[in-house]
Structure formats: structure tokens, C-alpha cells
Structure 1
């Protein structure tokens, strides 16, 4: 017996309702100002990956030495550490829209200069490195300013959805950016890659220009000096919920990010040839792919109001996935565990970002976001050092499994010692 047309219609409605609840919540995009900021984030995220590919390639073309390529890591990290903190303090003292205009303009301008250097075939390592450092300086100020602006553009109950949208875009940029760079590089050449980045950043600049004024509110510092930066750290130390959110991220990244061991595992565990192969690419792509896929189906995240529980669960799940990756004896099982870890990390990122937006007062949001930028930049690099040393001493599998176990134990201990974080609920839930 065939189902009636009414039954089929009801069934289709049920499926659409289920998908609407499961898919990425796009309600924040109904607010024009946030939508413009989000669209500019897409361009900035992809452009950052263009530079991450183009600069090392340009340095290697000039020198033929990986040692000089390695210098790009230092020239990129130092500005992120220094200006991430200072940039957050600046974001609390000035109109954030104006600061976004300046920093987006700086990003576009530095890409134009890198294009000119590449197009003119100026073979100066130090000029490329200085321009790259300048670009990362603008990026370091831009990121905490963007983060601090979100809570002024949408209602508080939409912050988790906005964080999911932003994180999904970032992961998409991590996937698409290198792929596009790899396709465009042989077709158009290195210099045109920089030019495409510059043109796209100019489009993002127009989106930022159309944002409303975001002047500092009452209680904001007058100057962005050392005292303002230190005030941010004191504020962080006095608010256990914020401090715990940072601690959870440090635990997850320092103990649980095994990317430094990917090259050795790709060759010795999963059979890549000495010159490199598909396994290495899959290992590096797995985490952002998992995070992106999970982000697409993250519509349910905003319904959970226990954000402290959400962060803790995400970090524990990340640790368990890392343990699974360390024990995996096949490439596809390893990729699966890393992808699951990427999804778990996205959950943690969404709720952690929501906590930083909602639990910090507006005059402190820039500095909190700046400190977060430093943690995000520094944590994985510290993990690279620790995992590299441990992997050489005791082997890759033992190092990864032990790191994942430390993540699980560390997250549980942190939640027990900081009960206010475990009990933390979204302010929107408290007001309901």
C-alpha cells in the first residue's frame, strides 16, 4: 500500500525540520553588521593560507634552503605573540571599526608589496621576511579586534552560533586556502597569488567599512600601554571561568597536538615513500576536515547552555581521539580518529569562544581576545617541540597515546579544581 500524499508531505516536513535543527545555525547572518564581518572573515582566513603557502615557496625559490624557510616561522610567530597582546589592548581603547579598517588595509598593503617583490623578481630573503612579519603584525591586531566586536553586533543568545559560523569558516579556509594556492601557483605564478590575495582583502576592507561605529564603552582604558596589557592579565586571573577556558585550551593543544610527528608516522607507520606521499597530506588535512564537517552539522550546539560542560566534554573527547590515533595501525583509521578529534575541538572552540565573549566585559574583550590569540599561536608550537623531543626518545605511538591520556586527565582535574567553570551557564540561559 502506497503512503498517501499527506503522509509523504508530513514526512518531508519532518526531514526538513530535523535538518534545520542539525545543520549549521545561520541566524546570526540575519544581522547585516555581523554578516559583513563574517564575510570579511572568509577572505581573511583564505588569504592567510595563501601567504602560508606563498612565503615559504618564495623563500625556498630564492635560497634553495629549508633553513631559511624555517625562519618564516620565527618571523611569523614573534609578531603574533607581541602584537596579539598589544593589539587586544588597542582594541579596547579605540573604535574597533576604525582599527579593523587600518589592519585590513595593512594586510592588503603588505600583500601588494609582496606581489611587487615577487613580480620584480627581487631575490632578497630579508625583504620577504620583513614584509611577512609586517603582514603578521597587522593580522595579530586584526584578529582580537574582530573577536571583540562580535558581541556588539548580535544578541548574547546567538554567540554560540556565531562562534560555530566563525570556526567553520576558519576550518574551511584551512582546507580551501592551501588547495587553491596549490592549483593557482603553477597556473598563474607566485606573484599573481599575492595579487589575488590583495584584491580579495580589498573586498574585505569594503565589508569592514560598512560596519557601524564601535567606539570604546564606559570604563575602557585611555591608553594601550603596558599597564593596560597587565590589567588584562589581572582581570583574567581574577575570573576563574575565563582562566579555566584558557587552561583547557592549553591542556588540549600542548599535550594533545601531535602534528610534529606526522612526517615520521606517514613514512614509518603508514608507508609513504621517503620523498613524501599521500599519507602525509591526509594526516595534515584530517583535523580541519573533521572540524569543518562537524561545523556544518552544528545546529544543535546553541541549545546547550552548560558551556563549561561543553568545553570540558570537547577537550576530553579530543584526548580520547588522540589516543585512538596513536593506537591506529592503518592510515584510514588514523584519519578517522583525527577527524573525530577535529570535530571535538570545534565543540570546545565554540563554547570557549562564547564564554570569552559573554563572561568578559566589553572594555576587556579586546585584551582577552588578544591573550587568546597568543595561546592559539603559541600552544601548538610548544606542542611541536615537546612531541618532537618525546617522539625521538620513546617513539611516536607512545608519545601520542601518553599525550592524549594527559589531555583527558588534565581536563578532568581542571574541571574538579575549578567548579565554577563546570557550573557555568550561558547568560542567555540565566536570563530566561
Structure 2
């Protein structure tokens, strides 16, 4: 009778970071509120552009408007996060996002809503997100014990996936029955609650040797990443996986090919379902030291599952494959997040988080271009399965070229050991 709880506990998510860190608890709850609020606007905004213009091109242009601010402010935000109080950055950008949502609310309440503010707000949201993400990511290693970083990554993933699945569903109902203004109003309320939670965070001042943000500082972070094969491998493998095996943009055409237009929404949701299932059974990941294997096998599993999704003609098998792909992506993400938090020095953490923003934003964008162009040339399903195959091959080549990623061990890696000793020293000093 006593063995069953222990086996169950070994599978369920490790809640240690929520118990041991007040700062992590606040950030986790704040993030949950923010994700629901953000998804409310993320659904309402493109729908409003569609209603105003009736043009797919006008809706797609929102992605182009968002990309450049995300890249520019992501890199600058990384340098800024190493030079100023990260709590102030999070608080300021969260308030900025709330003000942008207020602009959407006012515009939607006009007798004739205008189009140009929607693009302006989309660019502003992208800029604020680019500034905020490095500060948020780099704060985790400071407030969570070193041996709980994998568990923290899994809990953050559960939080994100809860918002990704429930947020759009609720937003769709709100927009359909109550209108865009109501959705934007709920977004404003969500960000107001989030700001109140951020005010309760402890200050997070920069390291004593912090420099003012500059291009030289950004270049210093890039040189550090380039000099560390383990970090370089995490960026390169994630980029390859997204560029070659990110088929979301051609899901409508896949649904047509399978004569299953009814399954389009399920195709978009399947990956998130797989990610959630892995996150909810992630207790075992806290006891693993070889996180580089997470990155490699997770990305290879993602590519293999995407290839299978493009090969099968049964829609239920396709959905199952997409769920497996989401689980593989989540496993790889857990490995990347843990390695970053375990190895990057405190003084460079913000700048490296900025590079990570660049990695995760550019990969899917290029992947959509590749998938669309390939589908026009070879057809939808060949574009999907061939991309998955190339993804697996690319991951194999990168793993062979960067063997330190494969052999990474949290107990023996010199950067991880140095970071663990620094964290222990900081804890003793406190």
C-alpha cells in the first residue's frame, strides 16, 4: 500500500520550487494571470483585423509587424536585464502591456474602430515582450535553488500550456458572444492584477560588476555563447527543429488533404496537449543529470513525430503524432532551460536570455516560410514529412559536431559546478 504513493510522486510534477521560493510562487501565479489575459487579446486582435478588412494578408501582416521589435528589443532587453533591477523591468513592461491593452479597449469602443492602432499595439506588445522575457528568464536561477531548476522549468511549462489551451478557448467564446471590447477589458483587468503581484516581488539588483547596456555588452554575451559548445548546441538544435519541422502554417491545407476540415482546431491543439501530458508526468526529470540528452532526444522525437504526421493519412494517427511532437518539444525545452539556468553566470544571464529570445522567435518564422514554400512545390504532406526527416538528420549532425552537449552532466560540467558554488555562496551570504 505504501509503494503506490511513492510511485505516483515519482511521476507527478515536482512542486519543490513552489514550496521553497516565495518569489517563484509569485511569478508563477502572475504568469498564469498574464497568459490568460494575453491570450484574450491575442485571439481578439487578429479577429478584429479580419472583421475590419476581410483580408488574410492584413491579418498575416501582423506577424511581420511583430518580428523586428521582438528581435531588437529582445537583444537590448537582455543587455538591460544585466544592468538594472530585473523586478523593475518586469513591473514596467507589465504596466506597459496593460496600457497597450487599454488602447485596444478604447479603440474597440469607438463607433468606427480604426485599423492602424491595432498594428501599432501589436508592435508595442512585441517590443514589451522582448524587453520583459530576458528579465523573467534570468530571474529564475536567482530565486530557485540550483537543484530545483528542472522542476521550475516543468512548472513554468504547465503554466504556459494552461494558458495556451484554456486562454484561446475562453477568448473565442468571449469575442463571439460579448465582442472585442469585452475581451480587451478582461485583458486590462488581468494585467492590473499582474502588476499588483509584481509589486510584491523582492528587488533583483544587477551584479556588482554590471555594465551599462551597449552593443559591446551584447557582443560579449554572443561571444560567450559561441565559446560554450553546450550552449551553442541548445540554440542550434532548437533552431534546426523549428526551421525544418514547424508545420503549423499549413495545417489548414493538411486538413483539406485529409478531408477532415473539422480537425483543424484539434491539429493546432494537439501539440499543446502532448506538452501538458509530459509536464504533468515530469517528476522523474528532476532526478536526471544528463540534460543534453533531453535536448537531443526531444528534438529528434519532435522531428520524427512530425515526419510521421505528414506520412499517415488517418487523421487520428496524425493528431496522435502531433501530440507526440509536442511532448518531444517540451522535453527538449526542459533540457534547454535547465542547462541555461545551471551554467550561465549571473552577470551574463540577461544577455544570454536575449539571445534565446532571438532563437525562439526566428526559428518558427523561418519554419513557416519553409513549410509554405515547400508545400507549394511538393504538396502539403511531403512538405511536412520531409521537414521532419531533415530535422532528425540535422539533430544527429549537430549532436555529432557538438559532443559536449550529449555528454553534459550537471554534476561534473565545469560551468554548472561553478554556477552551483556561486549560488551556494550567495545563499550562505544571505
Length-normalised TM-score, structure 2: 0.93
From 62, 76, 95, the equivalent of 2:52 is: 62
Given that 1:245 and 1:311 are in contact with CA atoms closer than 8 Å, whether structure 2 keeps it comes out as: yes
Pick which of 96-105 and 70-79 moved more: 70-79
> Which deviates more, 422-431 or 278-287?
422-431
Deviations 1:223-280 (CA, angstroms, capped at 9, x unpaired): 2122222222111111111111101101111111111221111012x214xxxx3211
Number of the residue aligned with 2:190: 200
Closer, same or farther in 2 for the Cα pair 1:390/1:248, shift >3 Å?
Answer: same
Question: Which shows bigger deviation, 241-250 or 407-416?
Answer: 407-416
How much is the aligned-residue C-alpha RMSD, in angstroms? 1.6
Task: Tell me if structure 1 keeps the 8 A contact 2:101–2:184.
Answer: yes
Deviation at 1:287, TM superposition (A): 0.5
What does 1:98-137 correspond to in 2, within 5 Å? 98-137=88-127
1:381-415 deviations in whole A, cap 9, x for unaligned?
Answer: 10010111111111222222221111211112111
1:271 to 259, 268, 286: 259
**Paired position in structure 2 for 1:260:** 249
Cα-to-partner distance string for 1:308-357 (whole Å, 9 max, x where unaligned): 11211111111111121111111110000000110111110011011111
Counterpart among 2, 5, 14 of residue 3 in structure 2: 14
- Residues of 1 paired with 2:149 and 2:406: CA distance? 19
**1:295/1:346 contact within 8 Å kept:** yes
Deviation at 1:101, TM superposition (A): 0.7
Q: Cα offset for 1:133?
A: 1.3
Aligned to 1:377: 361
Q: 2:210 aligns with which of 203, 211, 220?
A: 220
Pick the aligned partner of 1:304 from 284, 288, 303: 288
Q: Distance in 1 between matches of 2:8 and 2:53?
A: 52
Task: Indicate the larger mover: 91-100 or 137-146.
Answer: 137-146
| 1:23 paired to 2:12 | yes
Residue 350 in structure 1 maps to residue 338 in structure 2: no
Give 1:47's match in structure 2, choosing from 25, 37, 42: 37
Q: Which secondary structure does the structure 1 equivalent of 2:283 belong to? A: coil
C-alpha distance in 2 between matches for 1:162 and 1:233 = 26
Q: Which moved more, 1:333-342 or 1:181-190?
A: 181-190
Structure 2: segments with no counterpart, 5+ residues: 422-430
Mapped pair 1:242 → 2:231: yes
Structure 2 CA distance, aligned partners of 1:68 and 1:242? 38
Q: Is the 8 A contact 1:151 1:357 kept in 2?
A: yes
- TM-score, length-normalised on structure 1? 0.93
Equivalence for 2:266: 282
Runs of 4+ with deviation above 3 angstroms: 427-432
Gaps of 5+ in 1: 1-9
Cα contact 2:40–2:186 (8 A) shared by 1: no
Verify the 8 A CA contact 1:156 1:427 in the aligned structure 2: no
The Cα shift of 1:427 comes to 4.7
More divergent stretch after superposition (244-253 vs 169-178): 169-178
1:366 maps to 350
Q: 1:204 & 1:395 partners in 2: Cα distance? A: 45
Contact kept, 8 Å, 1:315 with 1:411, in 2: the verdict is yes
| Mapped pair 1:251 → 2:235 | no
Q: Which residue of 2 aligns with 1:407?
A: 391
